[in-house]
Structure formats: structure tokens, C-alpha cells
Amino acid sequence: MSRKIMISLAALIMMMTISSCGGGNNAENEKPKQKRVLVAYFSATGKTKKVAEDIARISGGDLHEIVPAKPYSAADLDWTDEKSRSYVEMHESDSLPETTDSVVDISSYDVIFIGYPIWWEQAPRVINSFIDKQELGKRYVIPFATSNGSQIGESVDSLKSQYPGIYWDSGKLLNSASDAGLIKWMKGFGIKR
């Protein structure tokens, strides 16, 4: 190889090295991609709704309310009455109350939260209606709940056994969540704001 060709080759290699270093700097300057967050929730009396709104506000996510076709009246929610709608629904394992909210394009989200009030230690059956309607496939789902004192664990165990194809996070009971607490929790899922 002539001296001239060797010098040209060396110059070419140097130029390629410099341009690839430049590319690296650009990549470093790029902002990390924000996670697209879905916050689906059902709330009969507003407590879970408030938490869902907080999660959506902090994460910049989309709120999706799970809406029963027939709203729950105060009588429907009377857990002391074995004939009340909620009691009957929750004690019939196959009940699937109709819902009117639209199907969500799940594929357009990176992180999916599902929130609900605890009813007899469980997620209300409209949560099953929602899951059955959506194409959640093998997605990772993060449950959250509010309650009058029950923990979330039993409801998540049930969801896990009813929908073994979904990857269920252990979830969180959010009865008294501050913004700081929510931000810290969500950081664990790569959500940064």
C-alpha cells in the first residue's frame, strides 16, 4: 500500500471516529422519552376518582373513567343489605355489569394503572367488565385502590388468579396519598415529571 493511500485511509478513519463521537453527544442531549400513561378507574363515591386524577396530573397521563351503564344508587351501595345490587353482584362470581366507556387503544400506552374502591376485599365487578372489554394481553398493570381500612392485597390476588395472562404489580392502597408520595411511587415505574 502506498504512503498516500495509507494517509488517506487514516484520515478517513479519524473522520468516522469524530462523527460517531458527535452522534453520541447528540444522543446524550436527547431528552429521555416520556412514558405514556393510562389511568383507568372506577369510583362510586369520588374517593378513587380524586386519586386517579392526582396520578394522571402528576404523570401527564390520560384519565379513563370506567362507567357502569346503570349508575350505583346509595341503596345499591348498601353493603349491610344482602339484597342490594353491590352485594348481589359481588357475591355472584360471574356477574359482569355493563359499562358504557369506550374501548381504549391499550397499545398506545407504556404504563397502565387501574384504580377501584375495595368492595368486600375485592375489586368491584365493573373492573372485570373493563378488563374483559380491553385487549390487555400480556401487559403489566398497576392496581391502586381506596378503602375504609382494608388492604389491597386480597383484591390483587383475585385479579391475578382471574387474569393470569396479565402481569400484575402488587399495587398500592392510596387512602392518604400526597403528591410527594405518588411521585416517589411512580418513579419506580420509570415515570418522571
Ligand X SMILES: Cc1cc2nc3c(=O)[nH]c(=O)nc-3n(C[C@H](O)[C@H](O)[C@H](O)COP(=O)(O)O)c2cc1C
Where do contacts with ligand X occur on this chain (CB under 6 A)? 43-49, 77, 79, 86, 117-121, 146-150
Whichever of 17 and 170 has its CB closer to ligand X, that residue is: 170
Whichever of 68 and 117 has its CB closer to ligand X, that residue is: 117
Whichever of 99 and 146 has its CB closer to ligand X, that residue is: 146
CB of 155 to ligand X, least distance (A): 9
Whichever of 34 and 95 has its CB closer to ligand X, that residue is: 95
> Rounded distance, CA 115 to CA 142, Å?
8
For residues 165-174, b (16+ Cβ closer than 10 Å) or e, as one string?
ebebbebbbb
177 three-state secondary structure: coil
Q: Residue 62's closest CA among 40, 42, 34?
A: 40
CB of 89 to ligand X, least distance (A): 9
The secondary structure of 64-116 as a DSSP string is EE--BSSPPPTTTT-TT-TTSHHHHHHHSTT----B-SPPP-GGG-SEEEEEE
Whichever of 26 and 176 has its CB closer to ligand X, that residue is: 176
137 three-state secondary structure: coil
CB of 32 to ligand X, least distance (A): 33
CB of 118 to ligand X, least distance (A): 4
| Cα pseudo-dihedral 158, 162, 167, 173, rounded to 10 | -30
CB of 86 to ligand X, least distance (A): 4
